[in-house]
Structure 1
Amino acid sequence: MISATFPRLILVCFLLGFFTFHAAEAQDMLDFSQTSLYVPKNEAKELEQVILVLQEEVQKRSGLQVQKAKKLESTQPQLVLTLGQAELPENLSAPLRTLEAINDEGYRIVVLSVEQKVVIEAKTKRGALYGVGKLLRKMELSAGEILIPQSLNLASSPRYEIRGHQLGYRPKTNSYDAWSVEQFDQYIRDLAIFGANSIEIMPPRTDDDFTSRHMQLPAINMIREQSRICEKYDLDVWMWYPNMGQDYVHPDSLRKEIEERREVFSTVPRLDHLFIPGGDPGDVEPEVLFDWLEQQAGILNEYHPKAKIWISPQVFRPTKEWFDIFFAHVNQNPEWLGGVVFGPWVKIPIDEIRDRLNRDIPIRRYPDITHSLSSQYPIPRWDLAWAITLGRECINPRPNDEKMIHNALDQYANGSISYSEGTNDDLNKFIWSDQDWNPETAEIETLRDYARYFIDADMAEELAQAFVALEQNIRGPLLTNTDVQNTLRQWVAIEKKSSPTVRKNFRFQMGLIRAYFDAYIQKRVVRETWLEQNALEQLGNYEELGTSSAIHLSKATLAAAWEEPVALDLKKKCESLADELYESIGAQLTVERHGAMGGRGNFIDNIDNPLNDVAWIYSQLAKAESAATEEERAAIISETLHRTDPGPGGFYDNFGDPSSWERVVFRYDLAKDPGNLRTPRVSFGVGLKDQEWVHEVTAKGFEGDAAPKAWMHQVTALYDLPLEIFYDRLDPESTYTIRVAYTGRFRSRMKMTADGLPVHDYIQTGSQPIYEFPLPSEAIKDGNVTFAWTCGEAGRGAQVSEIWIIRNDDEDTQRRNR
């Protein structure tokens, strides 16, 4: 017989099991809300700043004060911070000894649940700061609560010795020039918490204005403060110092340059390294450059005796002779030399630089993590709509790409200091710092830490995945990207449940504005693509409607894009968030309202740039309207409608179209060449009529005409790398003409071959967009042909936007060509 108490027993067992399970689940987080901090007395002075960082950052997020304790408590939760110089009880020190050894910048952390202690051990003040930073990143801090993961037991040392970011105080940046001393202090502290050990500053004179309307201090005063802040946190100070003088030989010119450097070097209390680019800006011939570097070293060491000079083989139009002289000087390894820097517009791949340098000369990377257009590491196959709207310096979280870029080349260098122009690349900085510390770190772990520590611990996972989604938004063709609207829904859901404090957080605002912006641009792309197709269909009825009526209908349809705009709520939200970002972090997302420098971070100014071919179509229709006869109008309309038609048996490719990229020949693994020094890349900019430097993709074109959209993007091979494009299925019995559009910002001198046979000799591009040439019959005798374009020495690269292969055997084609 079953006892009456048995059901009760089952219930008790069930409840015990339930609560035991959930208690175990919760046990991973230990409550340290009532914690204190113990630091051995003889180490407290040296660790004073590290202690302050811990106390201040915990209080900001939880409202709780972590008081210093004079002794270890046996029954109370405590944080223990030590440099290992004092004796700790065996129950605290023994677990540390089970962990692997650390270097001078490393740390060990053990969490002891029974003892209610978290012990952080390092060898140096710098290592202690990184240990505290790791703890802060893993804590869950909220009002009145400090939770620490029980599983946080590790020893960690940085893989690379150089880990930092450039924070230039100059007008060209999209936010830094608006910062106060306190904002720089906080940002430098934030970077250090994620493992940075270096900050690169700039002198007052660069390729920029001396001041802006945003600056709170003269530049010479602010760099003094930046250096002082770095000294406080024991971070290395680097200075990027381009050669902006006109003459480095004449005594009068040299005297002026020397006086300037004395003023700058004597101003900053700490300066460990000076980085002088070989060019961009400041191109100087190598012999003159190295004489000048030696003179600078003497001045530098008067004020900073241990400082070294680093130099980059960075020059816009390099020659073999330039590089030969450069490496000959570097390999003499003068006493003042710190090493060589690999950065944007360095023609030689980093592995080849490593081979050309003596083994004892280090390399530092200078990765461009800030730009999307005209960049060292472009977004692969970026959609033209993004280039037109997001522009060169948008808010650009690229966690997966940045890890890939870092790990493709990290083995050749001693670390990196990123090239940054403001807060737009904020998230990328923390990805790079984590990768320089440990390249095996998963980017999602950094994202979770970033979200937990900087924004909201309770929504760390949602935020981390939302930042990943922003990167997915800009992959592949925008028109068919199904992620964009889902990404907006994710961010809106987070926004709705976030606190007022989170909504004022600039890092949250940066992700949110991109989600709204991306969704708005996609809705416009869909609509304007449909309007263009509809307008062209209406124009195609000119024989039935008459040319004037067809033109009128077509223009009216295209005009609906601005007369009946879509999704204005999304646009207004972007404008509101732009204002909020200006208030929260000095982000300058428009020229007029926020004082941005044009063509930089002002992507909100581009929010309504046309996304279809309306500018070109309108310009063609204007020509038709001014024609004298119906026949002339009809001819212009026909040419407009058939601009891309190669005729029967022909081929047409537009290298903004993913299908056309299937013809591009890749002879090297792109995953090993993220900077495209050995592989083709996508580029943007029309480049006609002396528009060599294109920060913004515009409709400006040739001889007053608007440019077709197709001229705004190109397939590009940098420097003297051959650009190869392959065609098959040509008719060996036919003859062909190739028509090619040469556009792009480089305006290069190029020659073209077909299967090695000459098609044309060197042509200086930029003076006209379209060229036509007969194809050598020998090149297509097997039906296949590989076209190749190369630049002359010191050229910046071959660029092609469109190709027509026209079959001459067709009578209609011949008539059209005539």
Structure 2
Amino acid sequence: MKLAVFATLLAVPAAWGPSKFVPVDTILVDSDGLPSGASSLLESHVSRYNARTAKGGMCVKSSSKVGCSAGKTTAKVSFEMKNSASKGGFEVRSSDLDHVVSAGDESGALQGFLAWIRQVRWSAKETQVPTDWTASHSSDKELWGLRGHQYSSAPHAQMFRTMDEMKDYTLDQAVFGTNQIEMAHISTSSSSYDHLVEFSSAMKDTGMNASLWISADKAAAFDLDKLFKDMKQLDSIFMPGGDGGTLDIKAATAARKSCRKYHPGCTMWISLQELSADDMDSIIKDLQTSTWKDNIDGIVFGPHVRVPLTQFVKMIPEGFPIRQYPDICHIAGAQFALNFLSHVWAFTHQRQAVAPSPEFMDSIVRQRANGSTPTIGVGAYSEGVGDDWNKAVWSGVAFQPYRSVKNIVADYARYYFGADLEETAAGLIFGLEQNWIGDPANNTQINKTFALAQKLEKDGKDVLAKSWRLQALVKRAYNDVYQQRRYVCGLESVAGAMSALQRTWSADHRLDEAEKSLEHDCVDKTMSSYKSRVLDLASAINKTLGAEVLQTQDKMLNIQLIDEPVSDVPFLLDQVKSIKKLKSDDDKDKAIAKLTGWTDPGKDGFYAALASVPQSPNLVLPVSLESDPARYINPTISGDRYHSSHWISSQRSVFELYDSSVVVRFEGLKSSAKYKLRVGWGGGSGEVQLSANKKSILQKYMSATSSTKEYSVPQSETKGGTLELECQQKPGVGGSGRSCYISEMWLTVESEDSVIV
């Protein structure tokens, strides 16, 4: 995936975004034209704008409210309600200093105002508003109507340290088109009841749909009737059927009945996660019975569903709307794991990290749009706010798909960091995504992205001091360049050691020279300063937001992994020291030969590190990575923890999901040779089978293992010059569906015949 030049990325199409701006001292927003229920929400957004921007200067006025005064140059925003306008639609007209938002309902009026406010160019010096600009939106242009995200009730009951912080964050989500918040991971402690009531009130105050993700067993711990009665608003309940819950129609029926008693529009949703093929078929049959039809309002598609979304939509009986539940907060071991993520980033971040992925997320949203996969929308899975940029893309693209992701990221940068920093900050967001594509050793983008971060530090000191979003992005850029330099230095140390070990010197001399190379200190003064800056920014995030709020599953913000090994230096050093303890030179020579020959398959042989980055040429991808983001067809990389007892190539594996397979192809085999196959299995669960060219079974179904096994390959399968090896698990499994973990393969010549019969 390649990104275009940042200046091109940030160009706003004349068809939607404004091209002319005028400076103003004050912005007066006249709420008289709004429905009465929208006025308080409008004031909340204006207050949020003033608190967030450097100059503020926006005020809501009405016939019943005084206190707003015009400045020397005042922009005026007014509203007009038109019965002819579409529900949720709006039109914005800006002429000189007058701005009018026309809409058919409260939702459209507020969305129109928020669309306008995203275009306001604020900075410490001045505020500029659009002029000579007209833009419109209708709900039928949206990819889907439901655009939601999850909050976690851990580590804080409302995810944030204070209720005000949660409300502010929720208002920010609305600016980019989000209209539902779902509280998840609910505790059964005695205080949870009050916190859920507070959550409901906060959603009502911020204009959001309120939803609860609650498992059947957690629901049983509450007096739901009392809880739902006291909640001011509850629009839906999601009871997961797997991945944190089990399908329980009785519990779902009771919860729905109780909810509708106090919230007549409340809907009940269930998921079919972690089900085997037989269990899924059984549940789909149940959905056609009155017990399920009358009590389940919709079905959720999320991680660990054994079929892709397109197939899932076709399987669900008519009458059940489908809601997506995408995981947009994890980088590995997840529904949308980053494609061929280098071990450098996996080892130093594991699953949760600040990883803005605008291009990747934009591609997924557009692939999952109505048409090929008709669903009512999204309630995305999340853990903390470290995926804030991804939230904005999912909501923003779904809300206004006629705008490019480049425009939406530009809006994001302008809204949070100001017009002066907009282009640099947007470039940083796109750059961070590209930093993690391909081999870090050869990725020149990392230094370019780092330069953008340093520019933001210089040009945006005041914003950086207050903004956890900017702190998190700049921290990532510093960590990226720090890890890249550690990695490159480690590669040089390993190369020096391997070169020494393969010289013709005595065993002891070779080992001594290898040890010297491996003990080289890679961290110089410059790198130490980068590391210190990472630590400083982590501390700043903890003060401005809370480390535990940014990443609820990694409250140290990956700091504990900052010096995790990213090369084979620790492994090789342990091996060298162990070999030095051997008594005889002959034993040392043999051990050295074994160590240096790990990847050597011998004459006419082949070696493949299947989880390598860049991608191994032997690993077959049946479809493009872009067309299969959830990896239902293509294999995925696993391995985010370093172990000094193995080569890194042995620690990382590829695996397949459910009924797909891992396919490895070797070409250019000698027709006269008989080959032996050695497979480094990477563990996992279930039973797996290995076959050659879809004909010969090299291994019948057996329990997954983490050992290395050898197989004799029939010469009939190699004489044509190509060998295709395929690993599959037993069809129809449930659970996470992950199996066929393979790290490495060696195809070596066992013998050579002069005649092939």
**TM-score between the two structures when normalised by the length of structure 2:** 0.89
Q: Work out the CA distance in 2 between the residues paired with 1:604 and 1:42.
A: 48
Q: Which residue of 2 aligns with 1:228?
A: 201
Q: Work out the CA distance in 2 between the residues paired with 1:604 and 1:297.
A: 43
| Aligned match for 2:164, one of 179, 182, 188 | 182
Residue 162 in structure 1 maps to residue 117 in structure 2: no
| Aligned match for 2:418, one of 444, 448, 456 | 456
Residue 237 in structure 1 maps to residue 210 in structure 2: yes
SS in 2 for 1:66: strand
Q: Work out the CA distance in 1 between the residues paired with 2:487 and 2:356.
A: 22
Q: Which residue of 2 aligns with 1:54?
A: 46
Q: Work out the CA distance in 2 between the residues paired with 1:275 and 1:595.
A: 23
Check the 8 A contact 1:58/1:141 in 2, yes or no. Answer: no
Q: Work out the CA distance in 2 between the residues paired with 1:203 and 1:382.
A: 28
From the superposition, tell whether residues 585 and 493 of structure 1 become closer, same or farther in structure 2 (CA, over 3 Å).
same
Query: Cα deviation per residue 1:587-608 (whole Å; 9 max; x = unaligned)?
Result: 249xxxx99755x763121111
Structure with higher RCO (Cα < 8 A, 6+ apart): 2
From the superposition, tell whether residues 722 and 39 of structure 1 become closer, same or farther in structure 2 (CA, over 3 Å).
same
Write out aligned runs for 1:245-284 (5 A): 257=220, 259=222, 261-262=224-225, 264-284=227-247
| Aligned match for 1:295, one of 251, 254, 261 | 254
Q: 1:326, CA displacement in angstroms?
A: 1.6
Q: 1:161, CA displacement in angstroms?
A: 1.3
From the superposition, tell whether residues 79 and 659 of structure 1 become closer, same or farther in structure 2 (CA, over 3 Å).
closer
Q: Which residue of 2 aligns with 1:43?
A: 35
Q: Which residue of 1 aligns with 2:335?
A: 376
Q: Work out the CA distance in 1 between the residues paired with 2:257 and 2:356.
A: 41
Q: 1:737, CA displacement in angstroms?
A: 0.3
Q: Work out the CA distance in 2 between the residues paired with 1:279 and 1:419.
A: 14
Check the 8 A contact 1:43/1:82 in 2, yes or no. Answer: no
Q: Work out the CA distance in 2 between the residues paired with 1:502 and 1:622.
A: 47
Q: 1:110, CA displacement in angstroms?
A: 0.9
Q: Which residue of 1 aligns with 2:646?
A: 707
Q: 1:352, CA displacement in angstroms?
A: 0.8
Q: 1:53, CA displacement in angstroms?
A: 1.7
Q: Which residue of 2 aligns with 1:741?
A: 680
Q: 1:728, CA displacement in angstroms?
A: 1.2
Residue 395 in structure 1 maps to residue 366 in structure 2: no
| Aligned match for 2:713, one of 767, 775, 778 | 775
From the superposition, tell whether residues 473 and 276 of structure 1 become closer, same or farther in structure 2 (CA, over 3 Å).
same
SS in 2 for 1:753: strand
Q: 1:197, CA displacement in angstroms?
A: 0.7
Q: 1:227, CA displacement in angstroms?
A: 1.6
Q: Work out the CA distance in 1 between the residues paired with 2:522 and 2:160.
A: 34
Check the 8 A contact 2:33/2:79 in 1, yes or no. Answer: no
Q: Work out the CA distance in 1 between the residues paired with 2:551 and 2:428.
A: 29
Query: Cα deviation per residue 1:608-658 (whole Å; 9 max; x = unaligned)?
Result: 111111233234334424434332222222111111110111000102334
From the superposition, tell whether residues 792 and 106 of structure 1 become closer, same or farther in structure 2 (CA, over 3 Å).
same
Q: Work out the CA distance in 1 between the residues paired with 2:162 and 2:717.
A: 64
SS in 1 for 2:59: coil
Q: 1:188, CA displacement in angstroms?
A: 0.3
Q: 1:680, CA displacement in angstroms?
A: 2.0
Check the 8 A contact 2:620/2:663 in 1, yes or no. Answer: yes
Query: Cα deviation per residue 1:112-170 (whole Å; 9 max; x = unaligned)?
Result: 23xx4201122333322212211111011235743221243122134111101101121
From the superposition, tell whether residues 201 and 659 of structure 1 become closer, same or farther in structure 2 (CA, over 3 Å).
closer
Query: Cα deviation per residue 1:317-356 (whole Å; 9 max; x = unaligned)?
Result: x322111012112344623322111111111111111111
Check the 8 A contact 1:620/1:636 in 2, yes or no. Answer: no
Q: Which residue of 1 aligns with 2:176?
A: 194
Q: Which residue of 2 aligns with 1:537?
A: 499
| Aligned match for 2:111, one of 126, 130, 134 | 130
Q: Which residue of 2 aligns with 1:514?
A: 476
Q: Which residue of 1 aligns with 2:642?
A: 698
Q: 1:552, CA displacement in angstroms?
A: 3.5
Check the 8 A contact 2:625/2:634 in 1, yes or no. Answer: yes
Q: Work out the CA distance in 2 between the residues paired with 1:565 and 1:676.
A: 42
Q: Which residue of 2 aligns with 1:523?
A: 485
From the superposition, tell whether residues 596 and 634 of structure 1 become closer, same or farther in structure 2 (CA, over 3 Å).
farther
Q: 1:365, CA displacement in angstroms?
A: 1.0
Higher CA-based Rg: 1
Q: Work out the CA distance in 1 between the residues paired with 2:199 and 2:206.
A: 11
From the superposition, tell whether residues 805 and 176 of structure 1 become closer, same or farther in structure 2 (CA, over 3 Å).
farther
From the superposition, tell whether residues 265 and 43 of structure 1 become closer, same or farther in structure 2 (CA, over 3 Å).
closer
Gaps of 5+ in 1: 1-25, 86-100, 212-217, 246-255, 686-695, 701-705, 812-818
**What is the percent sequence identity of the aligned residues?**
23
Q: Work out the CA distance in 2 between the residues paired with 1:58 and 1:428.
A: 25
Amino acid at match of 2:77: L
Query: Cα deviation per residue 1:1-49 (whole Å; 9 max; x = unaligned)?
Result: xxxxxxxxxxxxxxxxxxxxxxxxx991134434423233683454232
Q: Which residue of 2 aligns with 1:616?
A: 571
From the superposition, tell whether residues 777 and 65 of structure 1 become closer, same or farther in structure 2 (CA, over 3 Å).
closer
Check the 8 A contact 2:179/2:208 in 1, yes or no. Answer: yes
Q: 1:505, CA displacement in angstroms?
A: 0.9
Residue 326 in structure 1 maps to residue 283 in structure 2: yes
From the superposition, tell whether residues 449 and 358 of structure 1 become closer, same or farther in structure 2 (CA, over 3 Å).
same
Check the 8 A contact 2:674/2:752 in 1, yes or no. Answer: no
Q: Which residue of 2 aligns with 1:341?
A: 300
Query: Cα deviation per residue 1:293-340 (whole Å; 9 max; x = unaligned)?
Result: 22332333334332111111111xx32211101211234462332211
Q: Which residue of 2 aligns with 1:574?
A: 534
Amino acid at match of 2:154: R
Amino acid at match of 1:422: G
Check the 8 A contact 1:258/1:296 in 2, yes or no. Answer: no
Gaps of 5+ in 2: 1-17
Q: Which residue of 2 aligns with 1:80?
A: 78
Q: Work out the CA distance in 2 between the residues paired with 1:40 and 1:178.
A: 34
Q: Work out the CA distance in 1 between the residues paired with 2:270 and 2:34.
A: 42
Q: Which residue of 2 aligns with 1:721?
A: 660
From the superposition, tell whether residues 258 and 495 of structure 1 become closer, same or farther in structure 2 (CA, over 3 Å).
closer
Q: 1:60, CA displacement in angstroms?
A: 4.5
SS in 2 for 1:602: coil
Check the 8 A contact 1:750/1:764 in 2, yes or no. Answer: yes
Q: Which residue of 2 aligns with 1:693?
A: none
Amino acid at match of 1:48: S
Q: 1:270, CA displacement in angstroms?
A: 1.5
| Aligned match for 1:585, one of 522, 545, 551 | 545
From the superposition, tell whether residues 203 and 427 of structure 1 become closer, same or farther in structure 2 (CA, over 3 Å).
closer
Q: Which residue of 1 aligns with 2:11?
A: none
Q: Work out the CA distance in 1 between the residues paired with 2:37 and 2:249.
A: 44
Say how many residue pairs are matched.
716
Q: 1:292, CA displacement in angstroms?
A: 3.2
Q: Work out the CA distance in 1 between the residues paired with 2:524 and 2:563.
A: 13
Q: Work out the CA distance in 2 between the residues paired with 1:193 and 1:610.
A: 41
Amino acid at match of 2:105: T
SS in 1 for 2:697: strand
Q: Work out the CA distance in 2 between the residues paired with 1:370 and 1:394.
A: 8
Residue 604 in structure 1 maps to residue 543 in structure 2: no
Check the 8 A contact 2:353/2:551 in 1, yes or no. Answer: no
Q: Which residue of 2 aligns with 1:106?
A: 89
Q: Which residue of 2 aligns with 1:428?
A: 390
Query: Cα deviation per residue 1:752-788 (whole Å; 9 max; x = unaligned)?
Result: 000121111123223x421110011111121112111
Q: Work out the CA distance in 2 between the residues paired with 1:601 and 1:347.
A: 34
SS in 2 for 1:128: helix
Residue 761 in structure 1 maps to residue 668 in structure 2: no
Q: CA RMSD in A?
A: 2.8
Q: 1:808, CA displacement in angstroms?
A: 1.1
Residue 661 in structure 1 maps to residue 643 in structure 2: no
